[in-house]
């Protein structure tokens, strides 16, 4: 297919239970202490066992830590001051210093997103602080996928939004940090946006990774990278297989060494869990550099 080559040095593997379940999982984010945060639909807490299932499931944020020799352990829901009842809480990211968590609260009606706003919590000795609505970015449009980065020597927040006047669908933006949970007005990443959706930005060491269905790709949403040269982003490069597949590949994140990361995909792969059909639902995958034995 086309010009894309497979990166044979990478291994993409389903993270498995108990992090993944047959519904959608999203936004894997690693804290400095190794805790994995992510969004998930349909995880039933033990306290919900006696509740009648009304068919309305909400996305909530969960955390999980590594159990030696067993992988990630049981997922625990974050407290109610973050997972507010009646909202979908999703799109979590942790700042590189581990001190701030950004996420979205979404109001949806029958699968249609009516409101999506950014929130922040800071790490305290007693856990994450109650949600604080981010100022400067939220408006009469949908804002998703916040993640911290750095441009022109300033801390910025990258995100996706369908702000009127954009190129179409969801476009990528950034805003300069001006205080705790406060930012300047959104600035569009014009050269990276297309008439279709650009989503799930992730920035590390001068490289912006994002998913797009508007640039040439293997499937629905493909992962691309673009390099910041100090004044502008380069033309996007498709990451190819196995990061991308014939379906949707989003939330690509990689560490500084480039040898460990995460991905979310609805691909039909060993270990994938889907409620209905083979590709209905998103799972979290780990991305690792293959070990070479001599």
Partner 1 sequence: MDQYTKAYGEVKDKDIAIKIAKTHLLLRDYTKSVNWFNRVLSKDKANKYLEERFLYGRALKMAGSTTEAAAEFKTYIETGADPNLKAWAETELKELS
| Minimum distance from residue 112 beta carbon to partner 1 (Å) | 11
What residues between 244 and 273 interact with partner 1 by CB under 8 A? Answer: 246-248, 266
| Minimum distance from residue 156 beta carbon to partner 1 (Å) | 29
Using CB under 8 A as the binding criterion, the count of chain residues that bind partner 1 stands at 24
What residues between 158 and 177 interact with partner 1 by CB under 8 A? Answer: 168
> Is residue 220 at the binding interface for partner 1, with CB under 8 A as the rule?
yes
Residue 113 CA, chain-centre distance (Å), reads 17
Residue among 279, 283, 285, 286 that touches partner 1 (CB under 8 A) = 279
CA–CA gap between residue 31 and residue 35 (Å, rounded): 5
Residue among 1, 56, 125, 292 that touches partner 1 (CB under 8 A) = 1
Closest CA relative to residue 36, chosen from 67, 13, 4: 67
C-beta closer to partner 1: residue 83 or 226:
226
> Is residue 191 at the binding interface for partner 1, with CB under 8 A as the rule?
no
Contact between 252 and 243 (Cβ < 8 Å): yes
- Bridge partner residues of 288 (DSSP): 11, 260
C-beta closer to partner 1: residue 5 or 70:
5
> Is residue 22 at the binding interface for partner 1, with CB under 8 A as the rule?
no
> Is residue 214 at the binding interface for partner 1, with CB under 8 A as the rule?
yes
Q: Which stretch binds partner 1 (CB under 8 A): 117-125, 174-182, 208-216, 228-236?
A: 208-216
Q: Output b/e per residue, 263-291; b: 16+ Cβ within 10 A.
A: bbbbbebeebbbeeeebebbbbbbbeeee
Contact between 200 and 251 (Cβ < 8 Å): yes
> Is residue 239 at the binding interface for partner 1, with CB under 8 A as the rule?
no
Q: Which stretch binds partner 1 (CB under 8 A): 61-69, 75-83, 93-101, 217-225?
A: 217-225
Long-range contacts from 99-106, C-beta under 8 angstroms, 24+ separation: 99/123, 100/148, 101/29, 101/37, 101/128, 102/134, 102/146, 102/147, 102/148, 102/157, 103/27, 103/39, 103/61, 103/131, 103/146, 104/143, 104/144, 104/145, 104/146, 105/131, 106/59
> Is residue 277 at the binding interface for partner 1, with CB under 8 A as the rule?
yes
> Is residue 208 at the binding interface for partner 1, with CB under 8 A as the rule?
no
Torsion angle in degrees (nearest 10) through CA of 138, 144, 149, 150: -40
183, two tokens: 């930012």
> Is residue 243 at the binding interface for partner 1, with CB under 8 A as the rule?
no
Q: Which stretch binds partner 1 (CB under 8 A): 1-9, 31-39, 113-121, 150-158?
A: 1-9
CA–CA gap between residue 228 and residue 234 (Å, rounded): 6
> Is residue 3 at the binding interface for partner 1, with CB under 8 A as the rule?
yes
C-beta closer to partner 1: residue 194 or 227:
194
C-beta closer to partner 1: residue 93 or 244:
244
Collapse the DSSP code of 26 into the 3-class scheme (helix H, G, I; strand E, B; otherwise coil) and give the result: strand
Residues that bind partner 1 (CB under 8 A): 1-4, 168, 195-196, 214-220, 246-248, 266, 276-281
């Amino acid at each position: 297919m086309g010009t894309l080559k497979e990166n044979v040095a990478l291994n993409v593997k389903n993270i498995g239970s108990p992090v993944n379940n047959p519904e959608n999982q999203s936004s894997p984010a690693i804290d400095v202490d190794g805790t994995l945060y992510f969004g998930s639909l349909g995880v039933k807490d033990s306290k919900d066992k006696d509740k009648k299932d009304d068919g309305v499931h909400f996305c909530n944020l969960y955390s999980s830590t590594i159990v030696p020799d067993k992988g990630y352990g049981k997922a625990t829901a974050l407290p109610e001051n973050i997972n507010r009842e009646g909202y979908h809480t999703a799109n979590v990211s942790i700042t590189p210093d581990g001190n701030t968590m950004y996420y979205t609260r979404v109001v949806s009606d029958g699968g249609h997103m009516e409101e999506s706003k950014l929130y922040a919590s800071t790490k305290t000795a007693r856990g994450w602080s109650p949600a604080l609505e981010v100022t400067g970015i939220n408006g009469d449009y949908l804002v998703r996928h916040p993640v911290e980065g750095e441009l022109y020597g300033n801390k910025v927040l990258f995100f996706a939004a369908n702000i009127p006047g954009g190129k179409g669908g969801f476009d990528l933006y950034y805003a300069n940090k001006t205080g705790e949970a406060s930012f300047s007005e959104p600035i569009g990443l014009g050269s990276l946006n297309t008439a279709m959706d650009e989503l799930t930005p992730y920035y590390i060491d001068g490289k912006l990774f994002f998913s797009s269905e508007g640039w040439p790709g293997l499937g629905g949403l493909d992962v691309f990278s673009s390099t910041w040269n100090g004044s502008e982003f380069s033309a996007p490069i498709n990451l190819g297989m196995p990061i991308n597949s014939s379906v949707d590949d989003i939330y690509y994140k990689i560490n500084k060494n480039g040898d460990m990361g995460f991905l979310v995909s609805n691909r039909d792969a060993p270990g994938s869990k889907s409620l209905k059909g083979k590709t209905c639902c998103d799972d979290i995958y780990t991305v690792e550099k293959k070990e070479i034995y001599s």
